[in-house]
Amino acid sequence: MSDELITRALVGGQWINGRGGTFPVTDPATGDEIARVADCTAGEVTSAIEAAAAAFEGWRLRSTKERAAVLLKVRDCLLQEKDTIATVLSRENGKPLAEATGEVGFAASFFEWFAEEARRHYGETIPSPSPSKRLVTVRQPVGVAALITPWNFPIGMIGRKVAAALAAGCTCVVKPAEDTPLTALLFAKICERAGVPAGVVNVVPCSRERVEEVGAALCASPRVQVLSFTGSTAVGQWLYSRCGPTVKKLALELGGDAPFIVFPSADLTRAVEGAMASKFRNTGQTCVTANRIFVHESIHDEFVSRFASAMDAELKVGRGLEKGINQGPIINQRQFDRVSRND
């Protein structure tokens, strides 16, 4: 695959520009502009939904075996292009290259998993109250799925959402995070190469200024039957409130507070190892990262001392593409200011 960055949206099998012009994607380590990406509006989103709805009529009729074969091809293409994808991911997300490479494999694993699960997508026979009747359930795809993905796992979360939707027979409109659209667009190219039919996977990036416009278009469309979102609780609530009029199915993975608790009976060596693994994955930018650490007063000072020593010894901060780095930059200035506050 060419090393040239993909910057246009994919709608109905066509690579298009956004009516909103373009928006910059920057390297979070340096602030330098990497590329300018199509800034999609509600118009492009509507076109993508229509393309997905049209493609659904053919995709849903494919056998589970046929759909599984396509998913496995996507898996193979992801693994073949692992180094290229990981480099793009690391450039726009800042994640250390080793972590980025592992994430591509993580994404590929979902296509294998759901390809296999799709073939066991059984219905049920239910005991009937009448001896002359039989009750049978059949599982069918619901339609177009709107998938809004986060910046902290730019291809892992796309893989998890898209693989499940495609395996079930649904088609997709993906709205990637505005900080990491290049990985999502490269994924769209992978799908195209793997033989995913036109319109089955559509990717519509947009700038932060157009997020509300694009989100509202996905929520308002009666053709979108299910919406999946991974991100903050506040945005999840906003989406939830706007999906009511069209009675969409919702799958929301929202924020929370993850405590790490160290009891006085703890093995401090293992406790420090656990805290390091929990706190500093992806520079702490994951939904399961410990963001509150409670330590019993009788072991507090020793734990803090050991924890600080481990941080000094093990954490190597820098640009994700540099060798030996295991802690990349915070994703953007807004997030940096947030974690820098003392309140």
Q: With bands split at pLDDT 50, 70 and 90, how would you rate the model's confidence at 336?
A: confident
Q: With bands split at pLDDT 50, 70 and 90, how would you rate the model's confidence at 342?
A: low
pTM summary value: 0.90
User: Above 70 in pLDDT, residue 7?
Assistant: yes
Biggest CA–CA distance in the chain, Å, is: 74
Q: Is-contact 22 39, C-beta < 8 A?
A: yes
Strands (E), 73-190: 124-126, 135-137, 144-148, 171-175
Residue 322 falls in the annotated catalytic set: no
Burial class (CB in 10 A: 0-12, 13-18, 19+), 254: middle
Residue 253 falls in the annotated catalytic set: yes
Q: Give the pLDDT confidence of 36-64 residue by residue, as tens digits.
A: 999 999 999 999 999 999 999 999 999 99
d(CA 292, CA 260): 6
Burial class (CB in 10 A: 0-12, 13-18, 19+), 69: middle
| Residue matched to tokens 């910059």 | 24
CATH assignment, 259-340: 3.40.309.10
- Annotated catalytic residue within 192, 213, 273, 287: 287
Q: Give the pLDDT confidence of 62-112 residue by residue, as tens digits.
A: 999 999 999 999 999 999 999 999 999 999 999 999 999 999 999 999 999
Q: Give the pLDDT confidence of 315-325 residue by residue, as tens digits.
A: 898 888 888 88
Domain edges within the chain: 9-120+140-253, 259-340
Q: Is-contact 227 248, C-beta < 8 A?
A: yes
CATH topology of domain 9-120+140-253: Aldehyde Dehydrogenase; Chain A, domain 1 (3.40.605)
- Annotated catalytic residue within 112, 117, 192, 253: 253
- Average confidence score pLDDT of the chain: 93
User: Above 80 in pLDDT, residue 337?
Assistant: no
User: Above 70 in pLDDT, residue 227?
Assistant: yes
